[in-house]
Amino acid sequence: MNLLPWTIYLSFIGASLAWLAGRRWSAPARWLALLTALGNLGIIGWAALDFSPAAETQTLVDLPWVSFASYHLAADGISMTLVLLTGIAALAGILFSWNITHRTGDFFALFLALIGGVYGVFLSADAFLLFVFYEIAIVPKYFLVAVWGSTNREYGAMKLVLYSFAGSALVMAGLLWAGAAGISFDMNFFAAQTRILSQVQQTGMFALIFTGFAVLAGMVPFHTWAPTGHVAAPTGASMLLAGVVMKLGAYGCLRLALPAFPLGLDFFQPLIAALGIAGILYAGLVALVQTDFKFVIGYSSVSHMGFVLLGLAVATPRALAGAVLQMFSHGIVAGLLFAVVGRMVYERTHTRDLHQLHRLPLFRMLPFAAVVFSLAGIASMGMPGFSGFPAEFSILIGTWQHNALWAVLAAIGIPVAAAYTLRVVHLAFFGKIAAEEISSADHPPLPPTTWPERLGAVLLLAVSITVGIHPGLLLDWIVPALQSPLMQIVSNGAAQ
Amino acid sequence: MTFPEHLWLIPALPLLAALVGAFTPRAQRKISSAAALLAMAASFGVACAALSSALAQPAAHQVSNFTWMAVGQFNLQFGFLLDPLGAFMAVMVTFVGFLIFLFSTGYMRDDENYAKFFCYLSLFAAAMLGLLVSNSLLLTFLCWEIVGLASYLLIGFWFHKPEAAAAAKKAFITTRVGDLGFLLGLLWLDSALHTQLFYNNGVGFLETAALDYLAVALPCGLLVSSAIGLLLFCGAVGKSGQFPLHVWLPDAMEGPTPVSALIHAATMVAAGVFLMARIFPLLSPDALTVVATIGAITALLGAVIAVTQNDIKRVLAFSTVSQLGYMMLAIGVGCPEAAIFHLLTHAFFKALLFLGAGSVIFAAHHEQDMRFMGGLAPRMKITFATFAIGMMALAGVPFLFSGFWSKEAILHGAHAWPTSPLPFYIGLVAVVLTAFYMTRLMANVFFGAPRSHAAEDAKENSWVMTLPLALLAVCAVLLGFLGTPAWPWLQAQLTGTEISSAPDFAKIFEGPGLLATSIVLVALGLGAGWAVYGFQKRATASEPDPLEKKFPRAWAALEHRLYFDELYAATVFRLNNALAFVADALDRWVIDQAVCFVGKLGEFLGFINKDIDEQGLNAGFDATAGKIRDTAGAYSSAQTGEAHGYLRVLALGFVALVILVAVLSC
């Protein structure tokens, strides 16, 4: 259990070594990154075996740091779930970045640094520390997109980072205000302290911190960084963006904004729910008419994160459990979708235009990609048997108990998801496949899928199916965490 | 009694076969079909055992429940339920399924994706069987969705045909619209009762305590239980091809014919009827009226459209729509046991008809248009004989054929319905139409002269294809005797009532002359059909239909299926697309532009700042810096580097300092 902080340190050590390997030794840098990710997963697995879910968070490290904050790392079931997600997403991301040849060492250095920051966020038990790790995670994103990206990469990278920093600025302002009002940043004391804040203070602080984090969770109308950012990013980075970075935002909302300022949640609950539902429906509709393959996935991410926001807004134990499960599920499934689009298809066909892809016999040319994408698409539309179903179902069931109308509106998103997913599966993979097309010289055979790609795809699919069939694996971690005094405040507040 | 604990085997075996099929390499494709057949046979065995166990206590609901997902005190539960309803269905599905699997080994033998086909079929069977043995609405929903997925995969199995790909998509999305209602009903039920179980020793939602609890009127006057029931009915409307969501079912015929037989005729489409029979206790008279109305509309609509279709599979598809309407009508008039009776008989004779059609299509080199057939009776004797039995069962030819008895049961129920006589009359009209269009089909396909080379060359198929036909034909006859008015054994088992051991033949002729009426109507339909199509057989493929000549406009409208597809394309799809484009434009041109504007504003501020900086602040800074530089220059001129000069200044300074100290110390 106490090894868990080593995920952070190991990532940064790996990042430094990969950076030293630099441009010259690309193969060692690759293997180094892989070993780091595997080492992290090993640590997480070890910790998971040792982890006994309890209502209280389990402190890992608590050292004095600066006058107003301590270096306090802790884990509960929610952190564990997201740390596990990070470990898996990082491993898959590295497998799908195996073919990076341009400044390989630098790429993996930034990749691992980003991962290290993410681990830090999920393990922080101090609001200020969390914020510091959050900032650490933002910087590598810019370079990953701007240097290794594709379409419109400078624009995408800049937009991504400006949105992130704008969000951070709001969070910072909120934290400063809270600090000035006498709140200690140690998250374990939030519950006891926030009673000293007036309603106005709570509402204001909540608005700042929640909005700041929600920007990164893709909340409408602050979501437009997501599609352009994803499109511009290289495959590994867009897997991380969708897989874990969007979760950072949602996690911040869940960990800081909700428990610290229950009155703020009360006040803004309808608005957040409305924005969540708007995200589900609106982004789903937008995804329906995109012509760029990656844009479809980008908007579908926004749509799925809408479910997370709805779950956070409702804030009953069922809805929150569903929201955390959805974070995990979306991290896995969206990562896989981006991997297929970015790595398997785009890097071989050099186009993401759906109408151009439709003219290729892609199912015959890349059968593995077609099967994986179809399965991932099925998972993404919330089909039972995959992780999305228990997650979205829990959110909807929690929402219905709170407000049936919200649940009805959100549920409309499900057929919409089926529509855009089937459309893109059909357009991209099952276009022209008449037998005579294949032999013709118009379509020279594409390079076959490589082993790292296959491993990564199988890994992600297996995780999604395992959780889909037996969600209890994660819920046994998540639910006790939601019963902690800290989270009880949230659900009690929401119930009023 | 612990049998329910073993019920999971029934869906699990085909699921295992599906897994085997998924990993079967192309070269060893036989493994996939062998696994599928074996699993179905084994499931059939377990289902028979389950049925005998259920019939030992027909009124009991034996359950075995467990928790799937627990969130605090809220549990999502799964469970298995053993009662005659589910057990009969499971036996039917495994039996028909096995025969269709067997037929498929012949029908699909030239397909390069043979192994995958059996994988999908097994997946479908697993989900369908899971649905039948489920004791949890949540598990039912889960299987329901997987059934939909398997159906999507199978309709689109020949995805190189654009129509097949489009039909698959249409089927999936249309049924998902209905499933939305199912999902909402499930959510409502859960939030009201915190249970998803049908039966659970008194606390399941179909048991008295829960039903009483749900018998609360909503502001609109509807009971909560009925509202939930109607939401679930939306799911059934989608899955069972009821009006207005019936549009996907005829298109689904683009799939391979065994798929049409198994999924879109015998089993999956019946899932909606099964669901309604299962949740029947939830439905109040208000809700039942809705169900009966939809059922009646569907029964009539399907039958009328079936008259005008030329594709042999589409005629059968619309006949399925119509028959499913009958079943829903039976549920609506309060006779779920009649609905299930018809469901079971229909499953056999419709599977028979579809496989017969498949046999014809396979022999005629994948020609599906009846106008290009003709004269097949002497060429394919077994197919013809069995198909004729299926046709007579569907048309309701009296006494010998199962369809007659089950349709009778429904008509009796409809006649006794106190609310309105309309469903009964619609049912009677549909009887005539059914006999009419089936006669038309027979005349066009099997009689007259062949109207194409394909039809001329047609030969009888091998035993793997004809054996299932023969077995199904036997069932299509015999099954009816399980539910005749003389000895309604099946109905008694379904309702859990006692039945006398000896049949009472007098009962057949009881009632207000219903039997005679329907015999007359069937004869009328058959006679009219033969009069129009039998005496003067179609000579060429291009010649218009005799009815088309008389009523060109009505014919055209019906042939285009009353323009439902066009209507939906013009309304729902257009609206949806418009919304999507608006949302996209909003995103691109409003939200994104607003962000860019903020960015540009920042940049603009940056320029202003730069100017202020350069012209204002910087100018001052430069001036100050310049002065400093000048001063420094002046000072630096003192740094001559000559030791004498320095010494001189040093001495001078020393003297000055001494003088200063002296002055100050005085």
Please state, as a whole number, how many other Cβ atoms lie within 10 Å of the Cβ of residue B31.
17
pLDDT at position B523, please? Answer: 79
Enter the pTM of the model.
0.85
Per-residue DSSP letter, B364: T
Q: Taking a C-beta distance cutoff of 8 angstroms, is the pair B141, B88 a contact?
A: no
Strand (E) or helix (H) holding B67: strand B62-71
**Which residue of chain B is at minimal alpha-carbon distance from A469?**
B68
User: How far, in Å, CA of A356 to CA of A270, rounded?
Assistant: 43
Q: What is the mean pLDDT of chain B?
A: 81
Cα-trace Rg, chain A: 21
pLDDT in tens, A350-373: 888 888 888 777 777 888 888 898
- pLDDT at residue B70 is higher than 50: yes
**Which residues of chain A lie closer than 8 angstroms to B586, CB-CB?**
282
Query: Which tokens go with B159?
Result: 């995805």
What is the per-residue burial (b if ≥16 Cβ within 10 Å, else e) of B358-379? bbbbbbbeebbbbbbbbbbbeb
Tell me the shortest Cα–Cα distance from A224 to chain B, in angstroms.
Answer: 6
SS3 B375: coil
User: How far, in Å, CA of B439 to CA of B534, rounded?
Assistant: 8
pLDDT at position A304, please? Answer: 92
Per-residue DSSP letter, B246: T
**Which residue of chain B is at minimal alpha-carbon distance from A224?**
B592
pLDDT in tens, B432-483: 888 888 888 888 888 777 777 777 777 777 787 788 888 888 888 887 777 7
Check CB contact under 8 Å for B580 and A285: yes
Tell me the shortest Cα–Cα distance from A183 to chain B, in angstroms.
Answer: 31
Note whether B457 contacts A: Cβ–Cβ < 8 A. Answer: no
Query: Which tokens go with B412?
Result: 């009796």
Q: How many residues does chain B have?
A: 666
Residues 597-616 of B with CB under 8 A from A: 599
pLDDT at position A38, please? Answer: 93
Q: Which of A158, A163, A286 to mutate to test the interface with B (most CBs of B within 10 A)?
A: A286
Note whether B583 contacts A: Cβ–Cβ < 8 A. Answer: yes
- pLDDT at residue B179 is higher than 50: yes
Please state, as a whole number, how many other Cβ atoms lie within 10 Å of the Cβ of residue B570.
11
Please state, as a whole number, how many other Cβ atoms lie within 10 Å of the Cβ of residue A166.
17
Q: How many residues does chain A have?
A: 496
pLDDT in tens, B363-400: 877 777 777 777 777 778 888 888 888 888 888 878 77
pLDDT at position A441, please? Answer: 54
pLDDT at position B1, please? Answer: 45
Check CB contact under 8 Å for B72 and A483: yes
> What's the gap between Cα A99 and its chain centre?
23
Query: Burial level of B6, CB count in 10 A (0-12/13-18/19+)?
Result: middle
> What number is the average pLDDT over the span B6-31?
84
Could you tell me the end-to-end alpha-carbon distance of chain B, in angstroms, rounded to an integer?
Answer: 125
pLDDT at position B258, please? Answer: 83
Tell me the shortest Cα–Cα distance from A275 to chain B, in angstroms.
Answer: 14
pLDDT in tens, A19-28: 887 767 878 8
In this prediction, residue A496 has a pLDDT band, given cuts at 50, 70 and 90, of: very low
pLDDT in tens, A245-304: 889 999 999 988 888 888 888 889 999 999 999 989 888 888 888 888 888 898 899 999
pLDDT at position B107, please? Answer: 79
Please state, as a whole number, how many other Cβ atoms lie within 10 Å of the Cβ of residue B620.
9
Strand (E) or helix (H) holding B217: none
Note whether B584 contacts A: Cβ–Cβ < 8 A. Answer: yes
- pLDDT at residue A192 is higher than 70: no
Per-residue DSSP letter, B156: G
Which among B179, B187, B580 has the least Cβ separation from residue A289? Answer: B580
> What number is the average pLDDT over the span B329-341?
88
Q: Which of A161, A164, A224, A387 to mutate to test the interface with B (most CBs of B within 10 A)?
A: A224
**Which residues of chain A lie closer than 8 angstroms to B169, CB-CB?**
422-423, 426
Which among A378, A418, A479 has the least Cβ separation from residue B72? Answer: A479
Q: Taking a C-beta distance cutoff of 8 angstroms, is the pair B315, B373 a contact?
A: no
Mean pLDDT is highest, among A46-60, A192-206, A458-472, A482-496, for: A458-472
Check CB contact under 8 Å for A285 and B70: no
- pLDDT at residue A180 is higher than 80: yes
**Which residue of chain B is at minimal alpha-carbon distance from A221?**
B591
Q: Taking a C-beta distance cutoff of 8 angstroms, is the pair A273, A310 a contact?
A: yes
Q: Taking a C-beta distance cutoff of 8 angstroms, is the pair A383, B149 a contact?
A: yes
- DSSP line for B84-105: HHHHHHHHHHHHHHHHHHHHHH
Q: Nearest-5° angle of CA A156, CA A161, CA A166?
A: 130
Lowest mean pLDDT among A457-466, B383-392, B522-531: B522-531
Residue of A336, A350, A366 lying closest to A429 (CA atoms): A366
C-alpha distances out from residue A34 to A16, A111, A458, B520, Å: 14, 11, 16, 79
pLDDT at position A71, please? Answer: 87
pLDDT at position B487, please? Answer: 67
Residue of A326, A310, A286, A322 lying closest to A423 (CA atoms): A286
pLDDT at position B63, please? Answer: 78
SS3 B572: helix
Query: Burial level of B636, CB count in 10 A (0-12/13-18/19+)?
Result: exposed
- pLDDT at residue B405 is higher than 90: no
Query: Burial level of B615, CB count in 10 A (0-12/13-18/19+)?
Result: exposed
pLDDT at position A55, please? Answer: 64
SS3 B79: strand
**Which residues of chain B lie closer than 8 angstroms to A290, CB-CB?**
584
> What number is the average pLDDT over the span B29-53?
87
Tell me the shortest Cα–Cα distance from B192 to chain A, in angstroms.
Answer: 8
Check CB contact under 8 Å for B74 and A290: no
- The larger pLDDT score, comparing residue B242 to residue B638, is at B242
Check CB contact under 8 Å for B184 and A318: no
Check CB contact under 8 Å for A400 and B583: no
> What's the gap between Cα A383 and its chain centre?
20
- pLDDT at residue A191 is higher than 80: no
Could you tell me the sign of the dihedral formed by the alpha carbons of A430, A433, A434, A435, in that order? Answer: negative
User: How far, in Å, CA of B460 to CA of B467, rounded?
Assistant: 12
User: How far, in Å, CA of A384 to CA of B139, rounded?
Assistant: 10
State which amino acid sits at residue B664: L
C-alpha distances out from residue B332 to A82, A463, B277, Å: 50, 44, 10
Q: Which residue's entry shows tokens 């079912």?
A: B249
SS3 B308: coil
> What number is the average pLDDT over the span B411-431?
84
What share of chain B has pLDDT > 90, as a percent? 1
Tell me the shortest Cα–Cα distance from B159 to chain A, in angstroms.
Answer: 7
Cα-trace Rg, chain B: 38
Strand (E) or helix (H) holding B324: helix B312-332
Note whether B3 contacts A: Cβ–Cβ < 8 A. Answer: no
Tell me the shortest Cα–Cα distance from A222 to chain B, in angstroms.
Answer: 8
**Which residues of chain B lie closer than 8 angstroms to A408, CB-CB?**
184
What share of chain B has pLDDT > 70, as a percent? 94
Q: What are phi and psi of A69, to 5 degrees?
A: -150, 155
Q: Which of A295, A400, A474 to mutate to test the interface with B (most CBs of B within 10 A)?
A: A400
In sequence order, which residues have a C-beta less than 8 Å from that of residue B632 and are 6 or more positions away? none
Q: Taking a C-beta distance cutoff of 8 angstroms, is the pair A258, A319 a contact?
A: no
User: How far, in Å, CA of B33 to CA of B105, rounded?
Assistant: 7
Q: What is the mean pLDDT of chain A?
A: 85
**Which residues of chain B lie closer than 8 angstroms to A384, CB-CB?**
141-143, 145-146
User: How far, in Å, CA of B262 to CA of A58, rounded?
Assistant: 55
**Which residue of chain B is at minimal alpha-carbon distance from A425?**
B169
Q: Which residue's entry shows tokens 């009762």?
A: B193
SS3 B413: helix
Query: Burial level of B35, CB count in 10 A (0-12/13-18/19+)?
Result: buried
Please state, as a whole number, how many other Cβ atoms lie within 10 Å of the Cβ of residue A106.
20
Q: Taking a C-beta distance cutoff of 8 angstroms, is the pair A481, A53 a contact?
A: yes
In sequence order, which residues have a C-beta less than 8 Å from that of residue A55 and are 6 or more positions away? A480, A481, A483, A484, A485
pLDDT at position A459, please? Answer: 92
User: How far, in Å, CA of B143 to CA of B54, rounded?
Assistant: 22
- DSSP line for A134-175: HHHHHHHHHHHHHHH--TTHHHHHHHHHHHHHHHHHHHHHHH
In sequence order, which residues have a C-beta less than 8 Å from that of residue A311 and are 6 or more positions away? A276, A319, A320, A322, A323, A326, A394, A395, A398, A399
Helix axes B514-529, B381-395, angle to 10 degrees: 140
User: How far, in Å, CA of A18 to CA of A25, rounded?
Assistant: 9
Lowest mean pLDDT among A235-249, B75-89, B217-231: B217-231
Note whether B70 contacts A: Cβ–Cβ < 8 A. Answer: yes
Ramachandran assignment for B322, one of left (phi > 0), alpha (psi -120 to 50 degrees), beta (any other): alpha
Ramachandran assignment for B334, one of left (phi > 0), alpha (psi -120 to 50 degrees), beta (any other): left
pLDDT at position A495, please? Answer: 47
In this prediction, residue B500 has a pLDDT band, given cuts at 50, 70 and 90, of: low
Check CB contact under 8 Å for B591 and A412: no
- pLDDT at residue A332 is higher than 90: yes
Q: What are phi and psi of B634, to 5 degrees?
A: -60, -45
Lowest mean pLDDT among B40-49, B133-142, B155-164: B155-164
Check CB contact under 8 Å for A400 and B191: yes
> What number is the average pLDDT over the span A126-134?
90
Check CB contact under 8 Å for A414 and B180: yes
**Which residue of chain B is at minimal alpha-carbon distance from A383?**
B145
> What number is the average pLDDT over the span B40-64?
83
User: How far, in Å, CA of A44 to CA of A87, rounded?
Assistant: 8
User: How far, in Å, CA of B488 to CA of B144, rounded?
Assistant: 31
Please give the ipTM for the structure prediction: 0.84
pLDDT at position B198, please? Answer: 84
Which among A318, A389, A415 has the least Cβ separation from residue B176? Answer: A415
Check CB contact under 8 Å for B583 and A286: yes
Lowest mean pLDDT among A290-304, A441-455, B87-101: A441-455
Interface A:B, Cβ pairs < 8 A: 116
pLDDT in tens, A48-69: 888 877 767 788 888 888 877 8
SS3 A97: coil
SS3 B116: helix
Note whether B621 contacts A: Cβ–Cβ < 8 A. Answer: no
**Which residue of chain A is at minimal alpha-carbon distance from B116?**
A371
In this prediction, residue B263 has a pLDDT band, given cuts at 50, 70 and 90, of: confident
pLDDT at position A85, please? Answer: 94
> What number is the average pLDDT over the span B310-315?
85
User: How far, in Å, CA of A402 to CA of A167, rounded?
Assistant: 29
